[in-house]
């Protein structure tokens, strides 16, 4: 039987690529792996467990209703990271401010993590794929943790990735040395390397955008969408960024969430949606822009900042920019 590489083996193997690695990043990835499995378990039985479905009677800072599973996922990821010492602070879509860990083990943590613990929240109750997105930075000052640790441009990310809870559950991540995907084998509860060295095709046949907003889009985006239709390309839009992104990464395609007249910065969040996926896509040979600037070069100014997003196969991203 061929040897299966598990995520834990892979993390240890890759640690050797960094001669001065202390193992902290490996520890951090291991805690993300654990939280992903716990969230996966809840996602998979969500239809059975009535208490976990539905709204949690709370709103996050952007006034959006929080779903119970959002809250569960947020708690699980934070708890997993708090308990192992590599992370000193976390920022989440679900928390207004960043959270500094004050337990002794975490005080010297080298990393900060920005995350969307459960992306695609409108799809939770309807059995459609959802995901987790994470972005990892080295903290700036060993003496203190500040908001500036999270406001580093995406090109400073040490690692980034996502988990997609779909027809199978996958964890995909990069540490700046290519992108690798691991599929959870539910029978043994282990993530196995299934997609080594992922590369997005330079061009594709899929465009993903909420066309309900078509008349609000900038002209170049409308022109591009018209062109997609003339070429009879496939429109595919799940409404879960992670799932749309993942499909396009495998098959070739573009995901767009442009700014509109009312919302010039679109909907998606720079720190924990655009940046991590931009790092993944670039590492897989694709590109990501806000329409004028490379996503990874944007200088964040606030935690929950939004930005337009065009991400996917490089030829397609280039074309939409030309209009």
Residue ranges binding ligand AHM (CB under 6 A):
64, 93, 116, 119-121, 210, 239-241, 267
Q: Which of Mg ion, ligand AHM, none sits in contact with 15, Cβ below 5 to 8 A by type?
A: none
Q: Which of Mg ion, ligand AHM, none sits in contact with 260, Cβ below 5 to 8 A by type?
A: none
Provide, rounded to whole angstroms, the least separation between the CB of residue 21 and ligand AHM.
32
From the list 70, 94, 119, 319, which residue makes contact with Mg ion (rule: CB under 5 A)? 119
CA angle 75, 111, 82 (to 5 degrees): 30
Provide, rounded to whole angstroms, the least separation between the CB of residue 52 and ligand AHM.
17
Cα 259 from Cα 216, distance rounded (Å): 8
Nearer to Mg ion, 26 or 135 (CB): 135
Provide, rounded to whole angstroms, the least separation between the CB of residue 49 and ligand AHM.
21
Q: Which of Mg ion, ligand AHM, none sits in contact with 267, Cβ below 5 to 8 A by type?
A: ligand AHM
Cα 319 from Cα 323, distance rounded (Å): 7
Provide, rounded to whole angstroms, the least separation between the CB of residue 273 and ligand AHM.
7
Nearest 10 degrees: CA dihedral of 205, 211, 217, 220?
20
Q: What is the DSSP letter of 270?
A: I
Under 8 Å between Cβ of 68 and 52: yes
Please count the residues of this chain forming the interface with Mg ion, following the rule CB under 5 A. Answer: 2
Q: Does 116 bind Mg ion (CB under 5 A)?
A: yes
Q: Which of Mg ion, ligand AHM, none sits in contact with 64, Cβ below 5 to 8 A by type?
A: ligand AHM
Cα 168 from Cα 158, distance rounded (Å): 27
Provide, rounded to whole angstroms, the least separation between the CB of residue 242 and Mg ion.
8
Binding range to Mg ion, per CB under 5 A, among 117-125, 138-146, 298-306, 311-319: 117-125
Residue with the shortest CB distance to Mg ion: 119
Contacts made by residues 155-158, CB under 8 angstroms, sequence distance 24+: 155/296, 155/297, 157/275, 157/276, 157/279, 157/296, 158/25, 158/111
Length of the chain, in residues: 323
Nearer to Mg ion, 86 or 311 (CB): 311
For residue 230, CA distances in Å to 119, 215, 223, 258 come to 32, 18, 11, 21
Q: Which of Mg ion, ligand AHM, none sits in contact with 291, Cβ below 5 to 8 A by type?
A: none
Q: Which of Mg ion, ligand AHM, none sits in contact with 94, Cβ below 5 to 8 A by type?
A: none
Provide, rounded to whole angstroms, the least separation between the CB of residue 192 and Mg ion.
27
Q: Does 24 bind Mg ion (CB under 5 A)?
A: no
Q: Does 94 bind Mg ion (CB under 5 A)?
A: no
Cα 109 from Cα 136, distance rounded (Å): 12
Q: Which of ligand AHM, Mg ion, none sits in contact with 97, Cβ below 5 to 8 A by type?
A: none
Cα 73 from Cα 83, distance rounded (Å): 16
Binding range to Mg ion, per CB under 5 A, among 12-20, 118-126, 149-157, 276-284: 118-126
Q: Which of ligand AHM, Mg ion, none sits in contact with 148, Cβ below 5 to 8 A by type?
A: none
CA angle 105, 110, 111 (to 5 degrees): 105
For the chain, helix, strand, coil in percent to 5 are 35, 25, 35
| HSE-CB for 6 with a 13 A CA cutoff | 9
Residues at the contact surface with Mg ion, assessed by CB under 5 A: 116, 119
């Amino acid at each position: 039987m061929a040897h299966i590489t598990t995520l834990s083996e892979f993390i240890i193997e890759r640690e050797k690529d960094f001669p001065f690695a202390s193992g902290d990043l490996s520890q951090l990835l291991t805690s993300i792996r654990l939280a992903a499995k716990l969230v996966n378990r809840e996602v998979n039985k969500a239809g059975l467990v009535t208490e976990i479905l539905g709204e949690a009677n709370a709103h996050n800072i952007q006034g959006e209703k929080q779903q119970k599973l959002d809250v569960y996922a947020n708690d699980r990821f934070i708890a997993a990271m708090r308990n192992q010492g590599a992370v000193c602070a976390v920022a989440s879509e679900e928390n207004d401010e960043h959270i500094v860990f004050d337990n002794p083990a975490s005080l010297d943590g080298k990393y900060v993590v920005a995350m969307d613990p459960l992306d695609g929240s409108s799809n939770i109750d309807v059995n459609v794929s959802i995901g987790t997105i994470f972005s990892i930075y080295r903290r700036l000052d060993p003496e203190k943790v500040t908001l500036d640790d999270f406001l580093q441009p995406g090109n400073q990310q040490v690692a980034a990735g996502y988990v997609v809870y779909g027809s199978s559950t996958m964890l995909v991540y990069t540490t700046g040395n290519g992108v690798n995907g691991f599929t959870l084998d539910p029978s043994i509860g282990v993530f196995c390397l299934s997609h080594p060295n992922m590369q997005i095709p330079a061009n594709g046949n899929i465009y993903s955008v909420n066309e309900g907003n078509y008349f609000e889009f900038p002209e170049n985006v409308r022109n591009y969408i018209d062109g997609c239709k003339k070429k009879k390309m496939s429109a595919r839009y799940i409404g879960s960024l992670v799932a749309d992104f993942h499909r396009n990464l495998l098959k070739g395609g573009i995901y767009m969430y442009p700014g509109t007249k009312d919302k010039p910065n679109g909907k998606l969040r720079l720190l924990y949606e655009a940046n991590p996926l931009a790092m993944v896509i670039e590492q897989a040979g694709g590109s990501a822009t806000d329409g004028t600037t490379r996503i990874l070069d944007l200088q964040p100014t606030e935690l929950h900042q939004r930005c337009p997003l065009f991400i996917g196969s490089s030829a397609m991203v280039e074309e939409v920019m030309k209009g």
